[in-house]
């Protein structure tokens, strides 16, 4: 992961490291936010309504065109006039250079930061069992699991009343005696981490002062996040000790770990377990691979994870968890985990059913901006995400909106993971109402409170054709879980019209035209 490494050694990270090691990434991310603001890391334009949040604000110039009646609640007239991004001007569908490559682990981390609760999934669970003779259980309550009372108390203290769908099926397997191996897949936010953390904690034998449970995470941040869940769940079990094996954590030569649980990244765990022998890997009885697809894919940490996997004893319980597994990775997982039970929670199909889609005819980048101003002038919008094709357009738009008095967060691919986390943290907490972003946020991230998604530029692939999958992911950010959402597509020029038509044809859904100079019409989109 590029960014955290690059920041290591800076005051920002050292300060936050100290905090993270105390076990709370959430607190750390707040510190990052503050530290980042102080240091004004280049490229981050993040502002509040008064424009004082460190944003780069261009000087005001042109006023926006007025709305037709009843224009009583027009947007602030002091529009800024930063130079419009030339590359995109006149045709929002231009296939400008792609940016924002980000890893599945980063996406998962951002997801965890922005999500506030459990995602309830009504879809079916598929269970494949290697040993058909052993019966299948599911639990409807945490009491039924016969947990230590202190652990049960911790689960309830976290606000968990009943197991989630995946937990119903996974927990009996995780806690089974004799232990069973498990490969589990279910979408992000469905309670996987909580499930395996509960298993990790309940498997600890506190009479033995050495590591018994090893949990591997692909990144420093994810390891800390998992540790944070473990510490909260074990808040009434002070006798259970957890150690992070992540960068920044150092041990004296010859020292031995007496913690029960190690949560860490593969490189550090290899160093500690094999090179320095700070713990005896042969005594590990539970091995958890979080984000298993990243950990065992060829592009991921396969070599290191497999080396560790090979060192743990055969009798060790193997638990692989992931939101996704591609076919190859699943085959590989099945090959290295003996007799696994495989649980899959089918993903709820993203659908356009409860999203009202509109397009707005625009002449230029400026008129796209005007369209947004007019909409904001008429209806009250909770939180919105605006997608741009390039980071240049995104930062141009952010500057203009900030200058217009909006509270705007900007998230683009050039930000470090810490910066992205802090931006999302603030947006989730409602500190900014508008999030302007590129495709960095289009996939996999659930922002529950978003009511409007604006495609400032329609999503296109390398050839300039409609990227319908990305379109679905983007507008799927709104209208989740039965709530109605609104998607507005700003269209300028021949090419972007052609892209819009491809999207309409692809989904077979009408996208209505919205006249943003007619306040009545704008008001109606909020009511229909």
Ligand X SMILES: Nc1ncnc2c1ncn2[C@@H]1O[C@H](COP(=O)(O)OP(=O)(O)OP(=O)(O)O)[C@@H](O)[C@H]1O
User: Helices 11-21 & 25-39, crossing angle to 10 degrees?
Assistant: 170
Q: Does 165 bind ligand X (CB under 6 A)?
A: no
Residue 33 or 187 with smaller CB distance to ligand X:
187
Q: Does 226 bind ligand X (CB under 6 A)?
A: no
Q: Burial code of 240-268, b = ≥16 C-beta within 10 A, e = fewer?
A: bbbbbbbbeeeeeeeeebebbbbbbbbeb
Residue 163 or 485 with smaller CB distance to ligand X:
163
Q: Which one among 173, 174, 192, 390 touches ligand X, defined by CB under 6 A?
A: 192
Residue 368 or 473 with smaller CB distance to ligand X:
473
16-24, 131-139, 186-194, 495-503 -> range binding ligand X (CB under 6 A): 186-194
Q: Which one among 65, 118, 306, 498 touches ligand X, defined by CB under 6 A?
A: 118
Q: Which residue blocks in 207-325 are alpha helix, DSSP H?
A: 220-233, 266-270, 292-296, 302-311
* Beta-carbon-side half-sphere exposure of residue 332 (alpha carbons within 13 Å): 17
Smallest distance, Å, CB 324 to ligand X? 9
Q: Does 140 bind ligand X (CB under 6 A)?
A: no
Region of 117 on the Ramachandran plot (φ > 0 left; ψ -120 to 50 alpha; else beta): beta
Q: Which one among 163, 172, 300, 479 touches ligand X, defined by CB under 6 A?
A: 163
Q: Which one among 24, 29, 48, 108 touches ligand X, defined by CB under 6 A?
A: 108
Region of 339 on the Ramachandran plot (φ > 0 left; ψ -120 to 50 alpha; else beta): left
Q: Does 188 bind ligand X (CB under 6 A)?
A: yes
Q: Does 198 bind ligand X (CB under 6 A)?
A: no
Instruction: Enter the DSSP assignment of 460.
Output: B
Distance between CA 183 and CA 340 in Å, rounded? 6
Q: Does 139 bind ligand X (CB under 6 A)?
A: no
Identify the H or E element spanning 470: helix 468-475
10-18, 62-70, 182-190, 253-261 -> range binding ligand X (CB under 6 A): 182-190
Token pair belonging to 436: 């302007």
345 and 125 Cβ atoms separated by less than 8 Å: yes
Residue 230 or 240 with smaller CB distance to ligand X:
230
Residue 164 or 496 with smaller CB distance to ligand X:
164
Q: Which one among 33, 111, 437, 451 touches ligand X, defined by CB under 6 A?
A: 111
State whether residue 506 is helix, strand or coil: helix
Q: Does 319 bind ligand X (CB under 6 A)?
A: no
Identify the H or E element spanning 372: helix 365-378
Smallest distance, Å, CB 111 to ligand X? 5
Q: Which one among 117, 149, 482, 508 touches ligand X, defined by CB under 6 A?
A: 117
Distance between CA 426 and CA 417 in Å, rounded? 14
Identify the H or E element spanning 343: strand 341-345
Q: Which one among 24, 29, 48, 167 touches ligand X, defined by CB under 6 A?
A: 167
Q: Does 445 bind ligand X (CB under 6 A)?
A: no
State whether residue 209 is helix, strand or coil: coil
Residue 163 or 227 with smaller CB distance to ligand X:
163
Q: Which of 56, 79, 50, 48 is nearest to 371 (CA)?
A: 79
Smallest distance, Å, CB 43 to ligand X? 27
Q: Which one among 12, 106, 112, 319 touches ligand X, defined by CB under 6 A?
A: 112
**Contact residues: ligand X, CB under 6 A:** 108, 111-112, 115, 117-118, 159-160, 163-164, 167, 188-194, 323
């Amino acid at each position: 992961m590029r960014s955290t490494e690059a920041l290591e050694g800076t005051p920002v990270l050292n300060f936050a490291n100290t905090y993270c090691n105390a076990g709370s990434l959430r607190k750390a991310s707040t510190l990052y936010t503050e530290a980042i603001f102080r240091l004004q890391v280049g490229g981050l334009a993040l502002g509040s309504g008064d424009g004082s949040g460190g944003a780069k604000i261009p000087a005001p110039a042109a006023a926006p065109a007025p709305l037709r009646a009843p224009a009583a609640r027009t947007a602030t007239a002091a529009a800024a006039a930063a130079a419009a991004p030339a590359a995109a001007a006149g045709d929002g569908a231009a296939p400008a250079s792609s940016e924002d490559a980000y890893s599945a682990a980063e996406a998962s981390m951002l997801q965890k930061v922005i999500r506030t609760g459990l995602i309830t999934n009504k879809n079916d669970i598929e269970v494949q069992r290697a040993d058909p003779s052993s019966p299948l259980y599911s639990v409807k309550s945490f009491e039924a699991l016969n947990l230590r009372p202190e652990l049960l108390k911790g689960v309830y203290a976290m606000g968990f009343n009943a197991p989630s769908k995946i937990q119903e099926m996974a927990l009996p397997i995780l806690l089974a005696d004799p232990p069973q191996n498990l490969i589990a897949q279910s979408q992000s936010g469905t309670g996987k981490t909580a499930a395996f953390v509960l298993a990790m904690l309940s498997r600890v034998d506190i009479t033995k002062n050495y590591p018994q449970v090893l949990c591997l995470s692909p990144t420093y941040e994810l390891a800390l996040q998992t540790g944070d869940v473990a510490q909260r769940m074990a808040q009434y079990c002070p006798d259970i000790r957890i150690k992070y094996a992540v960068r920044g954590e150092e041990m004296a030569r010859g020292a031995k770990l007496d913690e029960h649980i190690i949560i860490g990244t593969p490189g550090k765990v290899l160093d500690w377990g094999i090179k320095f022998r700070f713990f005896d890997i042969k005594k590990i009885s539970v091995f958890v691979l979080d984000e298993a697809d990243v950990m065992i894919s060829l592009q991921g940490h396969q070599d290191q994870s497999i080396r560790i996997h090979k060192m743990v004893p055969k009798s060790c319980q193997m638990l692989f968890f992931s939101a996704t597994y591609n076919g190859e990775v699943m085959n590989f997982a099945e090959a290295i985990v003996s007799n696994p039970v495989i649980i899959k929670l089918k993903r709820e199909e993203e659908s356009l059913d409860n999203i009202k889609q509109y397009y707005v005819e625009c002449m230029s980048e400026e008129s796209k901006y005007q369209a947004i101003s007019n909409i904001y002038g008429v209806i009250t919008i909770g939180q919105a995400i605006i997608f741009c094709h390039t980071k240049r357009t995104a930062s141009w738009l952010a500057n203009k909106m900030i200058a217009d008095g909006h509270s705007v967060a900007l998230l683009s691919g050039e930000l470090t993971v810490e910066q992205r986390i802090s931006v999302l943290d603030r947006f989730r907490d409602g500190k900014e109402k508008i999030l302007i972003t590129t495709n960095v946020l289009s996939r996999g991230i659930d922002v529950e409170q978003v009511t409007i998604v604006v495609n400032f530029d329609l999503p296109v692939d390398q050839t300039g054709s409609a990227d319908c999958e990305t379109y679905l992911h983007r507008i799927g950010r709104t209208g989740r879980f039965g709530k109605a959402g609104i998607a507005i597509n700003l269209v300028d020029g021949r090419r972007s019209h052609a892209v819009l038509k491809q999207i309409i044809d692809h989904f077979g859904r009408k996208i209505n035209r919205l006249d943003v100079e007619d306040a009545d019409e704008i008001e109606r989109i909020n009511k229909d």
